[in-house]
Structures are given as structure tokens and as C-alpha cells.
Amino acid sequence: MTSTVGLVDKDDLLTILQPDGAVDAELDPGVEPELALRMYEAMVQVRVTDDRMMTLQRQGRIHFYLASTGQEACSVGAAAALAQDDWVVPGYRQLGAFLFRGVTVKGIVAQCFGNAWDNTKGRQMPVHYSFKDQNMVSISSPIGTQVMQAAGVGMAMKRKGHRKCVMTFIGDGGTSSNDFHAGMNFAAVDKAPVIIICENNGWAISVPIAKQTASETFAQKAVAYGMPGVRVDGNDVLATYKATRDARERALRGDGPTFLEFVTYRLAGHSSSDDPKRYRPESECEAFRQKDPLERFKAYLEARGLWDAQKDEALVARCREAVNQAIQENERVPRPELISMFSDVYAEMPKDLQEALDEERQARGEGRFP
Ligand SMILES: Cc1ncc(C[n+]2csc(CCOP(=O)(O)OP(=O)(O)O)c2C)c(N)n1
Ligand SMILES: [Mg+2]
């Protein structure tokens, strides 16, 4: 299969899927029908979940949300290229990776409510998921830190002789952080099995990429660290899948890390606290709406005879039902037990913590938050 390494300049862009669903035969990763359908279903579930959860935030039923609308092909394509025992150090726009790796919509919604079903026990901001069973570590809010964490995980894997890899995500804005540079350097010097994906969505809240970097592309940064870089069409799920699969093969061969720039666009606001109309023209979004990753992949599935309008309608309805049911169930779940605030840190609770807990219990009556 044709090598994709070295596509780092501004005219380079690994693209496999055409807007009409046609495929570049030379680059086609040959995804089996079952996997292709799983990928599409995850992408639709992300779109529908984001839409519903954003409305929930506007209704005041959760206090924060962050969507990945327009970027679904990045997380899903990359996650589909991994094995289940690989590890992921995610950022906050990786709902697709969580769902693809088997996290349930119910678990996602619980975390956004911060209730007793939330496995982070209400200690994290909404959308800052962590699912141990899926080898997905807790999302760190300070941007860039994921790259250092992933470099460390990869270095540990190498020392333990594990034949697996770790994948991490960062935004275009995150590449200006110290941790990005330190993580890239450690991973490359150590030849650690790490895949670093930069989702270049054009913006870091209100800062455009022209003000973020003087490099012509983000992929070029890989060259300076001595690792392969690839500039990938992030709205083409076959391209994100293939680039990640190739990077994983290199990592498992012992050839070290790869840096992938997924060129995409953030169609929604940065988060529920942001209004993008204040800093960017609507026409910019329109250009990317024409490159919708879902429409493109749907056209491919239809061209392969795997999909039609009726199946699509049924899938969207199923995805809506999944999220609506998850909300209904989660809204009835109480807050985490008071004791959870004091647990998980020490094997045996120290005296001062025990006293604080007793005081809280006395002040609040029963063992729950009021
Ligand atoms: C170290 C640090 N500085 C600032 C912030 C506040 N902040 C949160 S997201 C963000 C922008 C990130 O942009 P980008 O990396 O492009 O990711 P995107 O949101 O576009 O996916 C900023 C500045 C933070 N979380 N951490
Ligand atoms: Mg960005």
C-alpha cells in the first residue's frame, strides 16, 4: 500500500474519499462492511448526542457542554484503527473515540450530570470523561498536558515490552504549550509507541491558526522532532483511519511515534460558554458544511450498497432514543454519596479527614449532599 509519510507541506493532504463517495483505489484501506457500518453509526451517535446535550445545557439541566460537531471523522477514524488493549489519552473533543471503544451513552450522560452513576463521582467538569475499562484515561483540562502523559505511557510500554501503543489528541491551540514540545521530544528521543493527533479545526476559542503558529502547517512540526508527520483530511474518515493504522504499525514495529495533523473545522462554538458569531464569519462555516464528514461517508456506504435513506432514518431515530433514554434515567439518579468526596485518596482515612467527614455529616444530617 502507498506510504503516506512525508505529506507535511501546505499542498499535501491525505484524502481517500471524494464528496460523492468515490474512493482513491490506491489508498483505499479496504475497510470491511461491518467495521465501516460501526464507524458510521458511531459518527451519527456523536452528532445526535452533541446536539441533544447542547440543548440540555441551554435548558439549564447540565451546566456545561462541549461538542465535536464537524469533527466526528477524526476521533472515530482514529479509534477504529486501534486494538482494544491500546491506550488513549484523550482531549475533550473525543466523544467519538469513547463511543467507538464501547463506552455507553448512559455513561457519557451520567458524567455530564455528575451524579451517582458518574464514574468520576462528580469530581470532573462535564465532558471530562474517564473510562478505565476502555483504556481511556481521564481528560486533563490544561491543554497540551495529554502529550506529555502519552509520551510517559508510551515510554512505560516500551520498557515493559508491551506490543501496543498509546494515542493522544491535541488541538491546534494546544501546540503552543510547553507540554506539547516536551512530549513530542521525549516520545521521539525514546522512539516510544505513541500516536499524536493534532485536530486542526482552525480555531482555539477565538484565536485563528494564523495567530497560533508561524509554521506553514502543523504537520511540519514533526520534522523538527525527528518523527514522521502526515497531513490528513480530517473530514475523511477513511483517511483518518488509514493514517492512524499506518502510525500504529510503525509504533508496534519499534519505529517510534508519528504526528498526524487532521485538518478539520469546528462547526459549533468552542463550548456552551462561547458565541463564535462574535469572532468569525458564518461564510467560513458554510464552506465546511459542504465537507460534512457524515454526508461524505454516507455517500460511500450507499455507493457500496451498504446503506440507504430508510436505514439512515432508522439509525438517527435509534441514536436519538439512546440519548433521550439516557437523559431520562440519569435525571432521576441522586448525587454522589457524601463519603465519595473523602474516598479514593488514602487506603486508610487520616484522622483530620475523618473529623471533617463527621462534621459534614452532622451539619447536613444524612450522609448525602442536600
Ligand atoms: C494551559 C491552558 N491554557 C488555557 C486553557 C483555556 N483553554 C481551554 S480550551 C482552549 C483553546 C484550545 O484550542 P485548541 O487547542 O485549538 O482545541 P479546540 O478547542 O479547538 O479543539 C483554551 C485556551 C486551558 N484549558 N489550559
Ligand atoms: Mg482548535
**CATH value at residue 209:** 3.40.50.970
Q: In this structure, are strands 203-204 and 258-263 parallel, antiparallel, or unpaired?
A: unpaired
Does some domain include residue 7? no
Catalytic residues: 266, 270, 279
- The number of distinct structural domains making up the chain is 2
Q: Show the low-confidence residues of the chain (pLDDT under 50).
A: 1, 368-370
What spacing in Å lies between the alpha carbon of 206 and ligand 2's midpoint?
9
For residues 342 and 302, membership in a common domain is answered with: no
State residue 348 phi and psi, 5-degree precision. Answer: -120, 130
pLDDT at 369: 43
For residues 354 and 249, membership in a common domain is answered with: no
Does some domain include residue 11? no
Domain holding 125, by residue range, is 33-336
Largest pairwise CA distance in the chain: 70
For residues 47 and 95, membership in a common domain is answered with: yes
DSSP code per residue over 206-226 = TEEGGGT-SSS-STHHHHHHT
For cell 508561524, the residue is 214
pLDDT at 2: 58
**SS3 state of residue 262:** strand
For residues 361 and 324, membership in a common domain is answered with: no
For residues 300 and 262, membership in a common domain is answered with: yes
Distance, in Å, from the CA atom of 16 to the CA atom of 25, rounded to the nearest integer, reads 8
What spacing in Å lies between the alpha carbon of 4 and ligand 1's midpoint?
29
For residues 94 and 197, membership in a common domain is answered with: yes
Distance, in Å, from the CA atom of 281 to the CA atom of 293, rounded to the nearest integer, reads 21
Does some domain include residue 77? yes
Q: Ligand 1: does its nearest atom lie under 6 Å from the Cβ of 128?
A: no
Does some domain include residue 4? no
Residue 226, sorted as left (phi over 0), alpha (psi -120 to 50) or beta, turns out to be left
**Ion ligand 2, residue ranges at CB < 5 A:** 171-172, 201, 204
For residues 330 and 352, membership in a common domain is answered with: no
